[in-house]
Amino acid sequence: MSNKLNWIDEELQNLKESGLYNKIRTLSSPQGAWLVVDGKKVLNFCSNNYLGLANHPRLIQAAKDAMSDFGVGPGAVRTIAGTLDLHLELEKRIAKFKRVEDAITFQSGFTANLGTIPALVGKGDAIFSDELNHASIIDGCRLSRADIIRYDHADPNSLEKVIKENEGKYRRGLVVTDGVFSMDGDFPPLDKITEIAEKHELIMMVDDAHGEGVLGEGGRGIVDHFGLHGRVDVEVGTFSKAFGVMGGVVAGNPRIIEWLRQRGRPFLFSSAVTIPDVAATIAAINVLEESTELVDRLWKNAEIFKREMGKLGFDTGKSMTPITPVMLGEAKLAREFSRMLYDQGVFAMALGFPTVPEGKARIRVMISAAHSEADIEQTLSAFTKVGKALGVI
């Protein structure tokens, strides 16, 4: 037998020994406040289903109706024969929802970043990138072959400093940041970051995957939260989180959107978003445009949870959104905490190094509008029990 793949066994063994091996849990229920995970019914604090839309009857019905009319698969890439009326309707509706001029959809948020960044900058250009940006931004930056210059997390002064240090060295430049950072639940002062980008004539891009459906009026996102419509050139988003479906979007400057229709590689070389996904996403926009009820409930749940956790003596870090880290310190403690919560019927992930800095391990609690007050109460008592047992509080 050939030995050429032995290195994989060794690497996997290394991962297991260092506690970095991903054990993938399996669900046998729809997304929601409660899940059946590996056969056990647990309260869910792991999903990005912020508004409970992933299993919403209106989205399901819209997907079914669209499949009856148009089938399932798109059959082609968007630029050949894969663009349906429905795709254009979604793009128009999401642009209007976000109060910007135009939008283009991709298969996912990940491909939106991979397609957009290399279309905007290349060799001889500079990308000014927040040091904690998401993996898909980092990969998009690498693909572009532009120089990547990192600035301190969410720090406009650091951004301005590195821009000045590099003035005149590059053809053009891009500033890129996550909207909401999903490890801490914080977001940057996007108004100040955008001002600096404008002052230095740099393209301004934000990836608002965790801000859509959460921040801004009725969940219109971080650009709406700061009132930066027309000033942020590129707003990447995903339909896989608060919107409860799947798909990516770039909204913003119409010249850039038009350029991406010509040069966004995943748009040209990977098939269009599927019909049920498109229809369900339009239904999600309908739900959000009709009422702010779900967004309001999400924030109310988060406020109650954070307030009560604070009273109990837990440290919820620098969260500014419903993503609530419970800071514990050592990775081993966080893992044990998560395991004990799970025994109590509460499913919440432990995050440790290298996902977060060493000594900053935590349980990340993803609050959703799907949770009832009783769910939150039950979770608080589980945290109390485990916190006391492990000497955290």
Ligand X SMILES: *Cc1c(COP(=O)(O)O)cnc(C)c1O
Q: Which residues bind ligand X (CB under 6 A)?
A: 108-110, 134, 136, 178, 182, 207, 209-210, 238, 240, 248
Q: Which amino acid is at 297?
A: R
C-alpha span between 215 and 194 (Å, rounded): 17
**Which backbone phi and psi does 127 adopt, to 5 degrees?**
-120, 125
Q: Give, in degrees to the nearest 5, the angle at Cα 214 between 197 and 377.
A: 140
| Residues 92 and 109: beta-carbon distance below 8 Å | no
CB of residue 4 to ligand X, shortest distance in Å: 32
C-alpha span between 97 and 295 (Å, rounded): 14
Active-site residue 153, yes or no? no
Q: Which of 210, 225, 306, 371 is catalytic?
A: 210
- The closest alpha carbon to 232, from 251, 255, 213, belongs to 251
298 is written with which tokens?
């999400």
CB of residue 213 to ligand X, shortest distance in Å: 13
Give the position of tokens 């992933």.
54
- With respect to ligand X, which residue has the nearer C-beta, 182 or 324? 182
Q: Which of 182, 240, 338, 368 is catalytic?
A: 182
Active-site residue 199, yes or no? no
DSSP letter string, 183-235? TTTB---HHHHHHHHHHTT-EEEEE-TTTTTTSSGGG--HHHHHT-TTTSSEE
CB of residue 93 to ligand X, shortest distance in Å: 18
CB of residue 20 to ligand X, shortest distance in Å: 20
CB of residue 201 to ligand X, shortest distance in Å: 25
Does the bond joining 156 to the residue before it have cis omega, within 30 degrees of 0? no
104 is written with which tokens?
């283009």
CB of residue 133 to ligand X, shortest distance in Å: 8
Q: Give, in degrees to the nearest 5, the angle at Cα 23 between 19 and 26.
A: 160
**CB-closest chain residue to ligand X:** 109
Residues paired with 235 in a beta bridge = 206, 251
Active-site residue 210, yes or no? yes
164: CB partners within 8 A, 6+ apart: none
373 is written with which tokens?
């007050």
% helix, strand, coil for the chain, step of 5: 45, 15, 40
CB of residue 381 to ligand X, shortest distance in Å: 30
CB of residue 115 to ligand X, shortest distance in Å: 12
Distances (CA, A) of 70 to 82, 109, 154, 158, 220: 12, 24, 44, 50, 29
- With respect to ligand X, which residue has the nearer C-beta, 31 or 136? 136
Beta strands across the sheet bearing 147-151: 102-106, 248-252, 234-238, 203-207, 173-178, 126-130, 147-151
Active site positions, annotated: 182, 210, 241
